[in-house]
Amino acid sequence: MSEPLLRVRDLRKEYDGVVAVDDASFELYGGEIVGLVGKNGAGKSTVIKALAGAISPDAGEVWLDGEPFAVTSPHHALDHGLAFMFQELELIPRMTVAENVMLGAHLPRRLGPFMSWRGMYEQAAQVLAELDDSIDPRGPVDALSVAQQRLVMIARALHRRARIVVLDEPTTSLTDREITDLHDICRRIRARGACVVYVSHRLGEIFSLTDRVIVMRDGHVVEQRATSELTHASLVDVITGGGIAAAREVGRRVTTPAPPADAEPLMRVRDLVRDGVVGPVSFDLRPGEVLGIGGLVGAGRTELLRLLYGADRSSGGSVEVRGRPVALRGPSQAMSAGIALLPEDRRHQGLILDFGVRENTTLASLGRFGSAVPGFPSRTRERAATDELIERLDVVTRDRDQPVRLLSGGNQQKVVIAKWLARDSDVLVFDEPTAGIDIGAKTQIYGIIESLSAAGKAVIVVSSEFNELVSICHRVLVLREGAHVGTLNGAEISEEAIVARCYGDASASV
Amino acid sequence: MAAEATQSVPPETPTARRSRRPASVYGLVGRYGVLAALVITFVVFCLLRPETFPTGDNLKTLLAQMAPVAIVAFGLTVVLVMGDFDLSIVGIIGLSSAVIVSLMSKSDVAWPLALIIGVLLAIAMGVLNGGLIAGIGASSFIITLAAGQVFSGVELEITGGQTIFDNIPTAFLNIATTNILGLSSAVWIMVAVFVIIYLLLNLTQLGRYMYAIGGNQEAARLSGISVKRIRTLGFIITALCSMVAAVILSSRAGAYSNEIGTSFFLPTYAAVFLGAAVLKPGTFNLGGTLIGALFLEVISNGLTLMSLSNAVVLIVQGAILAGAVLLATLQRRAA
């Protein structure tokens, strides 16, 4: 192979005496797509942040084009052709697409100091044409879909002629079609001779897209190898260090038996609808059942869950739990009926990030930890309950009062689950429970869902990873554009069957 | 540059391998910096004015002086914990004083009844603020700024801007001036308010909910917390504290004047923000607010004893507020 574009030697970074990255060495070459994989906390983000100039490493050297290179700021990195796209969109909402594409670049001028709008639109249109010609450079960027907004960020990188483009979990919340398009764009960037670094937890796309894989574990680069030399199982083995039999991720099937069809339903939903958004939807949920909700992004899955929980108001229909009607005027009514919601965005909707594990765990059930004086929760009882849940869910935390901000994604998710187990909820509604968490934690969350089912609770799961629904659900209900378009039972559940219903019969072959 | 300002990186913290963080020098300075500054300032004044500053009488006066400011600051701590502002405190103090004093002076209403009406009025003002802000979702900054203006307008309408001092019952004058166990009753009222709000914020379910709302309102709502009601309660508590301060001020002066409470804006906010830089850095906390209020009072008292003008006191207090906010911001960044 030719000279590397970028060479990193012995990169090291400590936070408060904790080693996040240690002796990380790797190379990036032009004209390749490199997958960067590893569990949460393996050090991927730290490496990327160091290359982006967002943090300064404690030790290590970087060469760009064979010359020593020290990044001083994200701006400086971009000037040298290094572009970074993080999960959060870095766009200025009320500005036009063109302004966002050109952000930070030298703007075309006319008549001395005045910038030329026409020049800006032309330059932006030129770059966008390669990505998606339906994006209007003159339109406001916040009118675009999330996928298109990501393309605008990629356009910014292309406009600056970036030679290394780093994409951090770029497919989160994209539909399959949009993911396919994004992959095509990655290949085009590669064809220009640039390098794409693709960070993802989804091993499927690592295999279908990348040429080479860099695996990190516990702060070290543990493997650099051509993708073709790896198998799914061997990659999982390297990521996890071989400790966990997480290869079960795909092949595993439901282990708890489906509840008998004539069992008394725990929850009965009839014609639940929010006008113009989702429904009407009707279903019964039996004790011990795991019900999956399949559908593309925008099909109304999250919206349905929020209706069930009273987080949004329904415009019609009814919900009963144990034969008693639930007035879904707000989360507290749903909670009293035994319904719990694990929201889509655990950091912004599920947790108080500055609170410790204990305070988050007891937040929804504080009234149950009463002491002799009403309204004054007993810390002793809170601690006991928290410790028990930390043990039961295997939450990795320094101690029970560590702020959840500092926990990894998987452990944060377990704390949200703990919050609802502390209430002993009957119907647990999980929205994308494994989004952005590593394979080990995913497996544990499947285990938790399984044990809830075995304990006679009912679980509703929304997931964009259909293989997950196939693995853990007794029944899958598919939504398309807000409408309930199909139900799959037991052996009927397969990825192909879900996908076919998601796209409708016309394009069932997708 | 805008592109950098919006640059953010999702944190990926190696929690599993995180060891117990050693208490850094920076952490200690952050935690006790304001407290150390208080002690140093105190010692400096003791050295500069050994005859007048460290005397029992002066310290008692100092505590009595800080009581009304501290009480309002305690109330403000509650709304700030929930991420709201209340800029109507000056209006609430003025209107409460005007109503209570006018009732006694002009309408011959018995003083306990006047106080009860004052309490109801304060609750009404808090409900108005809270209803518009939490209920309807308006910005607390603008609403309370506007409401404060309205309250001051009503106050002016009632009193015509005149000072009211005759026909005020002695019992009312005694509320803030009686000596109990060597200290002014105003100090004891401050202690009582401190204890109540301290228990509320730190030990009750409600207090935990208040901090949860401040931490993440949406997550709090999805955990079944009645966010609107509790935020409204915060404005009621602030209004009640302002009303209590108004009673102390009117009782001590034996009068209502249209300047009552007008100087409260800066020192109360300064106390709360100073407080957020101490004990639990980056978090509004009542112990911190108390230390903040004490610090400001020591400075103002000491500078006055050194015969420095009121203008200097204002400048120093303003500079301290800015310094406190900077300190809190830096700690937040380091945390």
Are A375 and B211 an interchain contact pair (Cβ–Cβ within 8 Å)?
no
> What pLDDT digit, counting tens, does each position of A408-447 carry?
888 999 999 999 999 989 999 999 998 878 778 888 899 9
Residue type at A335 in one-letter notation: M
pLDDT of residue A247: 37
Q: Is B196 on the interface with A (CB under 8 A)?
A: no
> What pLDDT digit, counting tens, does each position of B229-246 carry?
999 999 999 999 999 999
Q: Is B17 on the interface with A (CB under 8 A)?
A: yes
Q: What is the mean pLDDT of residues B177-203?
A: 95
pLDDT of residue B16: 31
Q: How many residues are there in chain A?
A: 510
Whether pLDDT at A398 is above 60: yes
Of A198, A105, A182, the C-alpha closest to A146 is A182
Whether pLDDT at A13 is above 70: yes
Contact indicator for A221, A41 with CB cutoff of 8 Å:
no
Whether pLDDT at B6 is above 50: no
Residue A261 to chain B, least CA–CA distance (Å): 32
* Residues whose CB falls within 8 Å of the CB of residue B265, separated by 6 or more in sequence, listed in order: B87, B89, B90
Are A19 and B211 an interchain contact pair (Cβ–Cβ within 8 Å)?
no
Whether pLDDT at B15 is above 70: no
Best of A36, A363, A379, A425 to disrupt the B interface by mutation (most B CBs within 10 Å)? A363
Tell which phi-psi region holds residue A71, choosing left (phi > 0), alpha (psi between -120 and 50) or beta: beta
pLDDT of residue A505: 52
Contact indicator for A166, A6 with CB cutoff of 8 Å:
no
Alpha-carbon Rg for chain A in angstroms: 24
For B1, the closest chain A residue by CA position comes to A104
Q: Is A353 on the interface with B (CB under 8 A)?
A: yes
* Residues whose CB falls within 8 Å of the CB of residue B250, separated by 6 or more in sequence, listed in order: B97, B100, B101, B172, B256, B260
Number of CB pairs < 8 Å for A and B?
147
Alpha-carbon Rg for chain B in angstroms: 21
pLDDT of residue A253: 57
Give the least confident one: A287-296, B222-231, B276-285. Answer: B276-285
Q: Is A91 on the interface with B (CB under 8 A)?
A: yes
Contact residues, A window 415-474, toward B, CB-based 8 Å cutoff:
419
Average pLDDT over chain B reads: 87
Q: Choose the closest CB to B205 out of A311, A335, A366.
A: A366
Task: Choose between A435 and B195: higher pLDDT.
Answer: B195
Residue B221 to chain A, least CA–CA distance (Å): 7
> What pLDDT digit, counting tens, does each position of A233-263 carry?
788 778 777 544 443 444 445 667 777 777 8
Residue A170 to chain B, least CA–CA distance (Å): 13
Best of B21, B208, B222 to disrupt the A interface by mutation (most A CBs within 10 Å)? B222
Token pair recorded at residue A440: 């080990």
The CA distance from A126 to A108, in Å, is 14
Contact indicator for A485, A501 with CB cutoff of 8 Å:
yes
The CA distance from A126 to A122, in Å, is 6
Whether pLDDT at A344 is above 70: yes
- In this prediction, the answer to ipTM > 0.85 reads no
The CA distance from B25 to B102, in Å, is 55
Task: Choose between A102 and A111: higher pLDDT.
Answer: A102
Contact residues, A window 249-308, toward B, CB-based 8 Å cutoff:
none
Tell which phi-psi region holds residue B58, choosing left (phi > 0), alpha (psi between -120 and 50) or beta: alpha
Of A429, A465, A426, A174, the C-alpha closest to A288 is A426
pLDDT of residue A46: 86
Cα A134–Cα A136–Cα A142 angle in degrees, nearest 5: 105
> What pLDDT digit, counting tens, does each position of A15-27 carry?
766 678 888 999 9
% of chain A with per-residue pLDDT over 90: 35
Residue A280: asked if its preceding bond is cis (omega within 30°), the reply is yes
Pairing of strands A164-168, A82-85: parallel
Whether pLDDT at A508 is above 50: no
For A369, the closest chain B residue by CA position comes to B205
> What pLDDT digit, counting tens, does each position of B25-61 carry?
556 666 777 788 888 889 999 999 999 999 999 999 9
Average pLDDT over chain A reads: 85
Element (H, E) at A278: strand A278-285
Whether pLDDT at A229 is above 60: yes
pLDDT of residue B11: 36
